[in-house]
Structure 1
Amino acid sequence: MEVQAAEAARRWLAEQGVSQVRDGWVSDAKPEVLLTANQVAHSWAGDVFAEDLDTADQLRLAFGLLDLLDDYWVTCEIRFANEGAEGPLPADVLWDGYRRRLEADRDVEAVTYSLWVDWFEDHTTSVVAFAEVLGNDIDRVVAERSEALLRRARRVLVCSGPVRWTVKEPTYHAAVRLQALHSAVFHGLRASFHDVYGDLEPAAALALLDRLDLPTNTQHLAELRHVLATGHKNHYRSPGAWDDAVRSCS
């Protein structure tokens, strides 16, 4: 489906006079100027939401541009449209678009970065966003264990540091039931401590950490256990705690 969406976006760009060449993109207006995917995204992605289409189809076209350009700025335009005068965007199409791409067997850094810095760091959107991309169906992920669902779960857990602890803790507990997700839970816990907006409760996080089946040489495992055991919630609230842990664990 993502391939079809990307091809629809390619056709739409062609209608705008933009085409892909070997080393990038060019526009009919300035065919001698080579454009990067990021430049194309900044110049044209927002125009998708001015097309004479219903909002759901505009959003599908935007996701096609994301597949084609693989550029974070496309996700910014999606967020702007969701918050704009014509928003919010259709929630089913919006979150299905994120879920499908999180399950894709390819690099999706633009998607996970968007979740992390836009949807998860903003506490007005993080509850719904986290529920839609993982929280609502973590039990299905654990029960079915398909590769696509596990990919989505791992990617969401790893970037879930900024999500409020009370929101993500039940999902973390459910994920611990499946050993294949233990490493991702660990990275989520570590991000919950280190991220500027990271959130955790030390005792509860330590109890979860102790349930994880991880290699004994897992990098930063001992240090994370130390800062949690000493009651620290966040690296930026206790700036010397991690260095103390490194010294204590060396």
Structure 2
Amino acid sequence: MKTQAMENARRWLAERGVVKVNGGWVDAQEPDRQLTANEIAHSWAGEVFTDEFLDATEQVRLAFGLLDLLDDYWVTCEIRFADRGPGGPLPADALWDGYRRRLEAKQDAEAVTYSLWADWFEDHNTAATAFAEVLGNDIGRVVAEGSTSLLRRADRVLACSSPVPWPVKQGVYDTVARLPALHRPLFKGLLGGYHDVYGDLEPTAALALLARMELPADTPHLAELRSVLAAGHRNHYRSPSAWDSAV
């Protein structure tokens, strides 16, 4: 993916002596040592938010350009630190537009989805806002339009939505149950809701959702999930023997 944001990030790094040469990164101060993307992310992603020549929106866009360029999760950490830190919050439009665009893109979005799952969704202070911004506010459009990019975004968000509190995501889950194209990622969200340490689901409602979904009978772990939910279990870690019994 070659975006203007990525090119701006490449130019910004080059101004600081960090360039890509022969497929690897080097710093002008240590030209004989090749740097990893992760090293660059740790060294420079946070510096974006101290650049006084950029306003807050430009800083956010540049940070996402670094994410495109480096494809390293640590960039998303620095974005979150800046939003939640003393200089935050970041401009919400730029912040969440950056997430939505990358969730809709064809390119791999693992760093973005991991960021949502491990950081924004696991934190009850940010889960509701983050889930609404990346999916909840647009679920009507997803159903009405069903475009490839919107379905791709919904797919990715649902699959990593396990830590989102059940009352926050239940309405979206109920709506998604009407879309067979999203039943597999919805199932991943439900399965994670049961197995993840911070997963959250309501057994009766989750079981009712499963009954509405079009999933192959041999879907891995479908029978076990139905069994534990029918028995009223909310989370694997609260009843560790329940899953083994179901298996």
TM band (smaller chain): over 0.9
CA RMSD of aligned residues (A): 1.0
What does residue 25 of structure 2 align with? 25
Deviation, structure 1 residue 217 = 1.0
Summarize the alignment of residues 70-85 of structure 1 with structure 2, pairs less than 5 Å apart.
70-85=71-86
Report the 3-state secondary structure (helix = DSSP H, G, I; strand = E; otherwise coil) of the residue aligned with 2:32: coil
Tell me the alpha carbon deviations over residues 89-135 of structure 1, each in whole angstroms, 9 at most, x when there is no partner. 00011001100000000101000000000000000000000000001
> 2:5 aligned with 1:5, yes or no?
yes
Q: Partners in 1 of 2:78 and 2:28 — Cα distance?
A: 23
Say whether the 8 Å CA contact 1:162–1:192 is kept in structure 2: yes
Deviation, structure 1 residue 84 = 1.6
What does residue 231 of structure 2 align with? 230
What does residue 114 of structure 2 align with? 113
What does residue 104 of structure 2 align with? 103
Identity %: 69
Report how many aligned residue pairs link the two structures: 246
Deviation, structure 1 residue 216 = 1.1
What does residue 50 of structure 1 align with? 50
Letter in 1 for 2:59: Q
Letter in 2 for 1:177: R
Tell me the alpha carbon deviations over residues 193-212 of structure 1, each in whole angstroms, 9 at most, x when there is no partner. 01100001100000001110
Deviation, structure 1 residue 2 = 6.1
Say whether the 8 Å CA contact 1:199–1:234 is kept in structure 2: yes
Letter in 2 for 1:200: L
Report the 3-state secondary structure (helix = DSSP H, G, I; strand = E; otherwise coil) of the residue aligned with 1:33: strand
> 2:128 aligned with 1:127, yes or no?
yes
What does residue 147 of structure 2 align with? 146
Structure 1 residues 201-210 or 21-30, which shifts more?
A: 21-30
Q: Partners in 1 of 2:86 and 2:199 — Cα distance?
A: 31
Say whether the 8 Å CA contact 1:2–1:64 is kept in structure 2: no
What does residue 241 of structure 1 align with? 242
Distance 1:24 1:112, change over 3 A: same
What does residue 160 of structure 1 align with? 161
Report the 3-state secondary structure (helix = DSSP H, G, I; strand = E; otherwise coil) of the residue aligned with 2:187: helix
> 2:73 aligned with 1:89, yes or no?
no
Report the 3-state secondary structure (helix = DSSP H, G, I; strand = E; otherwise coil) of the residue aligned with 1:186: helix
Letter in 2 for 1:105: K
Report the 3-state secondary structure (helix = DSSP H, G, I; strand = E; otherwise coil) of the residue aligned with 1:31: strand
Q: Which consecutive segments of 4 or more residues in structure 1 shift more than 6 A?
A: none
Tell me the alpha carbon deviations over residues 17-48 of structure 1, each in whole angstroms, 9 at most, x when there is no partner. 00112342100000111111000000111110
What does residue 14 of structure 2 align with? 14
Report the 3-state secondary structure (helix = DSSP H, G, I; strand = E; otherwise coil) of the residue aligned with 1:79: helix
Q: Partners in 2 of 1:73 and 1:108 — Cα distance?
A: 14
